[in-house]
Structure 1
Amino acid sequence: MRRQGIAPLPFAQGLALLDAVLARPAGNFVPARLDLREAQHAADAGEEVPALFRALVRRNTRPARARTSVTSAPTGLRDRLLAAPAEERIELVTQLVLREVAAVLGLDSADSLAPDQVLKHLGLDSLMAVELRRGLSAATELSLPATLAFDYPTPEEIAKLILTRLDLPTTPEATPASAASDAPGDATDSEALLGWALERLSADQLRRSGLLDRLVELARESAPAPEGTATVPAPAEPAGTLDDERSVDDINAELNALLEASGFDLD
């Protein structure tokens, strides 16, 4: 409530206000002690101020000093997640949720909270749930459901929802530089490069990528194989059998025949 601009009432002041209310004929009163600091900060930052406080704060018209960037590191949540490995993203989002939960509960830190704790068991009420959703929406720039804390009762489940809605692309397993770090030193040695690549690729991978069919086509277009080497017949399929149903053993056999026909010693 303090973050929304309402400060606690001292006990004596609360009783005095109750006496004042009982002595007045009006039917409804809202005794409240306003704290306008948050509303003033919002007004100075150009943010929307709650209607109740708009006549009580003045917007600072002095131009804000431009902030100089001291680092090129990503600052937004999405940028930080894109820069992180895919397997670490859920942990980063979970820590964000835990920090927001700690702030809503009035805790100094999130160290005492666990990702699988049920928020309702920690004392989270409806007002806190609204505050949690608002804080997470601002931090993630996502439109989160109004029943967030009740449909997703633990920080871990909330983090998974946020990560799903961010819909981030998967991080490549290796960059071209790292993937080729153990490639043959002489990039002009075509046979060495081909052998190096074939050692790391299975026939199934070549088949799914379409490279196997292309290799077979190139082999058929090349000069006749030397006498005594294997030839690669056109792949025949049983009637009613789909191409995708061929076994990995069949594909491996076809690839081996192709390599032998191309002059590679498989021994």
Structure 2
Amino acid sequence: MFAPKVDAVRHLDELTRGLDLDAFIVYSSAASVFMGAGSGGYAAANAFLDGLMARRRAAGLPGLSLAWGPWDQATGLAETMDDLTLTQMSRREGRGGVMALKPVEGMELFGAAVGSGQALLVPVKLDLRGVRADAVAGGGVPHLLRGLVRLGRQQAQAVGVGGDERRQLSDRLAGLGAAEQEALLLDLVRTQVAVVLGHAGPESVRAETAFKDAGFDSLTSVELRNRMREATGLKLPATLVFDYPTPMELARHLGDELAVDKASPADPVLAGLAGLDAAIESAASDEEARDRITVRLRELLKAAEAAGGSDGTEGTADASDEDLETASDEDLFAIFDRLN
């Protein structure tokens, strides 16, 4: 890439400096400004053209670099690309807020740029509606488009800011059992994987299929890490999909990192017992009511011991069956208080 871009234009610049030119126009790429992820050499070569035109302008010479976005055509470089490469580029450009230019649109932009007097222009076709939709789905807004994309209140809440994502996700997980938490996190991972790979929905993503077998490369791996970081508020490494190579393993890792307490089957039972205090106290003056309550408490205690395979020595506040048989009402209430 450096030979046809950097070397060629550098020589052309040196050999024409003594000529009276009306224009000196080079074709750069939007990758030199943004959208350059995964194309470091290409982005750097085009950035050289941008810088050289700025230097020519500073020296009083004509110079214009057009950092083109993608064109919708099957000639030139695009002629040698296979369908898979073109599909991946299309998905990537779409998520970056850029659509392909029709030839007539490109020619109109070229005509407008020639007389602009600028050293660098970026003729691209922006898809700001797509950027908004992607942001709501959990993706980030490209930095250079944040002045153009205004999110509504509901959209901003959906995107989240800073640690809000982690708090919102933790709130959703709180009170769920272990299986439900895992299911929610797995659905989150599968949804983001589907977006990165361009699937119609998370149902196309299998929980146990390795990311590398699903089509991930280094670029899409980093993109998934970024999207998961946005969605969870966690600090996640760039090697995330290599460290946790399936959606299920990644979901379990997120659960460990979020460290949300899992609901216990005992929680509703204990909550119900806590509400008995006032009821028992109100019935304490009625001897018949106390007797009925005592019998029922004994039945519940025996049922709990039987369900847990207990021999009666645990969970009874050190009270034996004989003690319970001979205990007074006050003793039983004291045992209940200690259990509660």
Normalising by the smaller structure, the TM-score range is 0.5 to 0.7
> TM-score, normalized by length of structure 1?
0.55
The equivalent of 1:159 in structure 2 is 251
- Aligned-residue offset at 1:111: 1.9
Q: Structure 1 vs Structure 2: percent identity of aligned residues?
A: 28
Which of 191, 201, 207 lines up with 2:294 in the alignment?
Answer: 191
The equivalent of 1:100 in structure 2 is 192
Are the aligned partners of 1:82 and 1:171 in contact in 2 as well (CA < 8 Å)?
A: yes
SS class of match (1:107): coil
SS class of match (2:204): coil
The equivalent of 1:175 in structure 2 is 268
- Aligned-residue offset at 1:151: 1.1
- Give the alignment of 1:230-249 within 5 angstroms: none
Does residue 1:138 correspond to 2:227, yes or no? no
- Give the alignment of 1:217-256 within 5 angstroms: 255-256=320-321
Are the aligned partners of 1:8 and 1:33 in contact in 2 as well (CA < 8 Å)?
A: no
- Aligned-residue offset at 1:61: 10
Does residue 1:125 correspond to 2:217, yes or no? yes
State the one-letter code of the partner of 1:198.
Answer: L
- Aligned-residue offset at 1:5: 4.1
* Structure 2 CA distance for partners of 1:8 and 1:153, relative to 1, 3 Å: farther
SS class of match (1:206): coil
Aligned pairs, number: 187
Does residue 1:14 correspond to 2:77, yes or no? yes
- Aligned-residue offset at 1:157: 0.2
Are the aligned partners of 1:130 and 1:146 in contact in 2 as well (CA < 8 Å)?
A: yes
State the one-letter code of the partner of 1:14.
Answer: L
SS class of match (1:127): helix
Deviations 1:118-169 (A, max 9, x none): 1101110000000001111111111112211011110000000001111011
Deviations 1:216-264 (A, max 9, x none): xxxxxxxxxxxxxxxxxxxxxxxxxxxxxxxxxxxxxxx1232244279
SS class of match (1:76): helix
- Aligned-residue offset at 1:196: 3.4
* Structure 2 CA distance for partners of 1:120 and 1:35, relative to 1, 3 Å: farther
Q: Between Structure 1 and Structure 2, which shows a larger proportion of helix residues? A: 2
CA distance in 1, matches of 2:262, 2:131: 42
Q: Judge which range, 195-204 or 5-14, deviates more.
A: 5-14
State the one-letter code of the partner of 1:80.
Answer: R
Uncovered stretches (5+) of structure 2, i.e. residues with no partner:
1-30, 37-68, 80-121, 156-166, 284-289, 330-340
* Structure 2 CA distance for partners of 1:121 and 1:168, relative to 1, 3 Å: same
SS class of match (1:172): coil
- Give the alignment of 1:69-80 within 5 angstroms: 76-80=168-172
State the one-letter code of the partner of 1:105.
Answer: L
State the one-letter code of the partner of 2:297.
Answer: L
RMSD: 4.3
Deviations 1:40-77 (A, max 9, x none): 759x99x8754xx4xxx572598x76559xxxxxx932
Q: Judge which range, 6-15 or 108-117, deviates more.
A: 6-15
* Structure 2 CA distance for partners of 1:35 and 1:107, relative to 1, 3 Å: farther
SS class of match (1:195): helix
Are the aligned partners of 1:104 and 1:131 in contact in 2 as well (CA < 8 Å)?
A: yes
Are the aligned partners of 2:192 and 2:227 in contact in 1 as well (CA < 8 Å)?
A: yes
The equivalent of 1:59 in structure 2 is 147
CA distance in 2, matches of 1:167, 1:118: 25
Uncovered stretches (5+) of structure 1, i.e. residues with no partner:
17-31, 69-74, 216-254
* Structure 2 CA distance for partners of 1:258 and 1:85, relative to 1, 3 Å: same
Are the aligned partners of 2:176 and 2:262 in contact in 1 as well (CA < 8 Å)?
A: no
- Aligned-residue offset at 1:96: 1.0
> TM-score, normalized by length of structure 2?
0.45
CA distance in 1, matches of 2:260, 2:234: 13
Does residue 1:206 correspond to 2:315, yes or no? yes
CA distance in 2, matches of 1:61, 1:150: 33
- Give the alignment of 1:83-98 within 5 angstroms: 83-98=175-190
CA distance in 1, matches of 2:327, 2:227: 63
